[in-house]
Amino acid sequence: MSLPPLLVIIPMHPEQLSELQTRFEVIYRPSHHPTPEGWGPDGERVRFVLTNGSRGMSAAELTHLPNVELVSALGAGYENLDIAAMRARDIVVVHGAGANAPTVADQGFALLLAAIRRIPEYDAACRKGIWRDALPMQPGVAGKKLGIVGLGAVGRQFAKRGEGFDMQIGYRNRNRRDDLPSHYQYFDSVTALAEWADILVVTAPGGAESHHMINADVLRALGKDGFLVNLGRGSVVDTAALADALRNGVIAGAGLDVYEGEPSPPAALIDLQNIVLSPHVAGRSPEAEAATLSMFMENTRRYQAGEPVMTPL
């Protein structure tokens, strides 16, 4: 029996491709930028597509995939998938919600600690022979008020880590959740959450609804002793407002795994000492990649078996 054709348009490791090839005829066309001209005869045969939220899949690209049945975003994000165009053609759309959440939260908490405790600065000073008396004293982390914007799978994992540091937990979601510990405090606006929090962590997805949700007003509300961590999407934070806030002491510091203009370096931020950056790697680990690929394989297995998929969009 012939294997169903799968179009993969994101970079993948050889071992991941090998696993996919056990179940699919893999058409591997990784590209950071969309390819509106299509994929020739291969595109006409494709039944499944594997992409991610950053790369996405546009309506124009779908016109070159007349037989596609299912499109999957490998991670949790799906901001650049034209879901309306897919639904119009009855294409099943799934994503990898929650599969890499522990790894993302690990990286986010590392950024939080590094930003608050100035780990990169202290490391550089130590290598230069600078002793502690010549360096600024930084605040502790335990017992602080942790505000989370977007309490989904990553946000819940982050909150669990915060509880290990005896933090108070507050959150802002589109809707109040009724499945949380009773001591989690709900806020009806991001600004109100920022006013309450010592540390504001963003795990909200990208897209038009959340564009520049973290703006100058929110940063002022967070205040001169506050810290920002962004694990969601770069578009959620107004980069110019953040750069201004960091330069002028509006907030104390920040840690970002995502930023506007990826993969180019965030030019407005890289000369600042009170920010710690990582290149959108929070969701990447052997464990996370195995879990996200396993979720994709299970979603496609269920679809082919006529069963409900795990993580529909």
Could you give the CA distance from residue 259 to residue 261 in angstroms, rounded to a whole number?
6
For residue 15, report the phi and psi dihedrals to the nearest 5 degrees: -70, -30
- Residue tagged active-site, from 55, 118, 156, 280: 280
Which residue reads 């959740």 in tokens?
177
Q: Cis ω on the peptide bond leading into residue 263 (within 30° of 0)?
A: yes
DSSP code of 124?
A: H
- Residue tagged active-site, from 19, 233, 260, 289: 233
Beta bridge partners, 275, equal 254
262 an active-site residue? yes
- Residue tagged active-site, from 262, 284, 298, 302: 262
Positive/negative CA dihedral, 24, 26, 27, 31: positive
209 an active-site residue? no
Could you give the CA distance from residue 6 to residue 23 in angstroms, rounded to a whole number?
9
HEC string of 151-195?
CCHHHHHHHHHHHHCCCEEEEECCCCCCCCCCCCEECCCHHHHHH
79 an active-site residue? no
Cα–Cα distances in angstroms (integers) from residue 126 to residues 47, 118, 120, 172, in the given order: 56, 12, 10, 39
Cα–Cα distances in angstroms (integers) from residue 277 to residues 141, 153, 159, 288, in the given order: 19, 22, 21, 20
Q: How many CB atoms lie within 10 A of CB 117?
A: 15
Cα–Cα distances in angstroms (integers) from residue 41 to residues 10, 23, 76, 123, 241, in the given order: 19, 21, 30, 54, 47
Cβ–Cβ < 8 Å for 101, 154 = yes
Which residues does the annotation mark as catalytic? 233, 262, 280
